Amino acid sequence: MTISPAALAALVLLALALGGAASFAWRGRGAETRLAAAEKRLREQQDEATRLEAARASAEARARAAEERAQHALRGAQDGVWEWQVRQDRVSLSPRWKGMLGYGPDDIGLTRADWLARVHVDDRPRLAAALERAVGGGGGGSGSSGGGGSSHNESRIELDLRLLHRDGSVRHVLSRGVLLRGEDGTPERLIGLDTDITRVKRVQAVLDAVADGTAGAFGERFFAAMVEHLARALEVDCAFITECTDQPATRVRTLAHWSVQRGQRESFEYDLAGTPCEEVVQAGRTCFHPERLAEKFPREAGWEAFVGMPIVASDGRVIGHLALMHRSRLGDEVLVERIYRIFLARAAAEIERMQAVAKLALQGGAPVTAA
């Protein structure tokens, strides 16, 4: 079979065309492969970005939660927060800190002088010196620690302070602070907490006063010293201690009675009915009437507040009571139960001792010596 030149040329052209198409198809398949690989890498990168974003969001959420827990803890602890921005010499005081002293959120300025003005005048030099030592890297005030090997990064202060309440009274606080330094070591912020320890200080002061005042006293001298020093320490107008004269108790006799107006008063007896003492003795529990006492008990005209506590014998009987009375309203700062427990137990022992001595004297016919 003879192929004409024209047909041969046509076949050659067809072969070239088919070869070009095959080459193009091969190149197309390679591009698709590379494209698919690129898309895969892009998806992997997107997945990694999504994972990193989720991790960042989780870390931020944990940080926010930790901050919220810290804020809740501060609010729960009722601590006042303060911050001295050293470079700007500005002070920030939390609403709780201001509230401890009877001030509103906007009542105190932002300068260090405004802050120090709320500190008792005798304590200002100690606080100022502690702040300067902390900023200088020399540690803190009374009871301070320099943070061991990290003292170049932070300094601490810890000291007792008296703060001035808006009403003129004094609040005792335990003030603790830590200095934060920048990367170059320069002081940036001193952040601290002030914890109100007024009640603790008051308990200690009352305990010391009554313990010192009754040291070495027994019997009637003990009771007289106890009521006077207790009334003076608690700053109430009257204090007295009684012994039940019958059982079940309907009447009591005072063993000691002291008032600001009259000092020590002679012993007397009275019926419990119609007095705030009745519930104390007959129910055997502490009773507190912070105000309007005479409205509830007309027999107590002229008195505004009352606190009464039972004196319980070793066999569980109520054998008397201790009472405090005041001509103006009383706050719950007078409810220092730890102090009362100590001296009520001592009073119970003294009453039982006196009763035992009287009983023995009666049996033997000898004169009674109670003290």
pLDDT for position 156: 87
Question: What mean pLDDT comes out for the span 348-353?
Answer: 94
Question: 47 pLDDT exceeds 50?
Answer: yes
> What percent of the chain stands above pLDDT 90?
50
Task: Flag the least confident range among 155-159, 322-326, 345-349.
Answer: 155-159
Integer Cα distance of 206 and 229 in angstroms:
8
> What pTM did the predictor assign?
0.60
Average pLDDT over residues 173-198: 90
What confidence score (pLDDT) does residue 49 get? 72
Distance CA 218, CA 194 (A): 42
Average pLDDT over residues 170-195: 90
Bridge partners, residue 253, by sequence? 243, 269
CB 111 within 8 A of CB 90: yes
Average pLDDT over residues 185-206: 87
pLDDT, residue 66, reads 54
The predicted pLDDT at position 72 comes to 53
- pLDDT for the residue numbered 91: 93
